[in-house]
Structure 1
């Protein structure tokens, strides 16, 4: 295949992904990335514009500190082999020993290499029959480091105050062009 044919094939594949997400944006994004042989960032970029906004990863610490004030959220890590979720408040972190360290009384704890976060993706879309809002922390390869989802109440409805805060972050940071 020559370069022109490869480019046309890639463009057709992305057009197919955009059409699929336009018709139904509720699929598992990581599975779509695998199916279409593209990065998670590319899948997010193929979502309808009303469903996503991107910002520079340089805001990662500030976003995490804001989320620390939201109350219970769902932190999710999705690899090819496992999907781990933790529903709890995200503690405020601080830098030390080369990591952004979170912990201190919350079930959510760990050590993040925030300097590897190149893009923040704010995504609001249906998932499993319900509205969802997430902040996706993406590395330089366009792959998800982790995601933070707006919390839900006992009836599985999104917490309204968190949706407002999520929307404020989207509006403030999502207007930037992310690298």
Structure 2
């Protein structure tokens, strides 16, 4: 763990670097600077990310059920697991948010562990990306949902519209 002075210096160094280029795997950038992934998100230049409280979890998940095929991604130190499919409906039950039905995306999420949700637009590998990152208390991604792409690898315009509308609605509610 970094002391406050070192962390402040690392954050300043990272902000400077990210003004020039936001490309790279967020978790790798965090590890290289001894910071959390949420710290990296918060260092992105203005307009590249908007964070809202994790209490919007169920609202965001319900909205995602109307988007069509997205990329649902889980990134740990040992695996990056992707599933391209529609987000199924789900509902809270006890401490879990349970997906309904059996599709390519399923299971049980500890939704109360979600402390913040970040709407991120940035270049990655020379392509525009839009992703929603669900962050836990430690500042690491529980999972990510990426806007889908067409057969030419172009972001789906209708999903960008939905992404922007959801981000704007939730950030205005928080203000």
By the TM > 0.5 criterion, same fold? Answer: yes
Matched, 1:20 2:17: yes
Contact 1:122-1:174 within 8 A present in 2 as well: no
Matched, 1:120 2:117: yes
Looking at structure 1, the residues matched to 156 and 31 of structure 2 have their Cα atoms a distance apart, in angstroms, of 31
Q: Aligned runs of 1:147-166 on 2, under 5 Å?
A: 147-166=144-163
Which residue of structure 1 aligns with residue 64 of structure 2?
67
Which residue of structure 2 aligns with residue 90 of structure 1?
87
TM-score (normalizing by structure 2): 0.94
Q: Which runs of 5+ in 2 are unaligned?
A: none
Matched, 1:174 2:171: yes
Matched, 1:44 2:41: yes
Q: How far did residue 97 of structure 1 move?
A: 5.0
DSSP-derived class of the 1:85 partner: strand
CA RMSD of aligned residues (A): 1.5
Contact 2:95-2:112 within 8 A present in 1 as well: no
Which residue of structure 2 aligns with residue 31 of structure 1?
28
Matched, 1:57 2:54: yes
Q: How far did residue 8 of structure 1 move?
A: 3.1
Question: How many residues are matched?
Answer: 173
Looking at structure 2, the residues matched to 32 and 108 of structure 1 have their Cα atoms a distance apart, in angstroms, of 28
Cα offsets for 1:110-134 (capped at 9, x unmatched):
1001011010000000011111000
Structure 1's 158 and 8: CA in aligned 2 closer, same or farther, altered over 3 A? Answer: same
Looking at structure 2, the residues matched to 52 and 7 of structure 1 have their Cα atoms a distance apart, in angstroms, of 24
Contact 2:95-2:111 within 8 A present in 1 as well: no
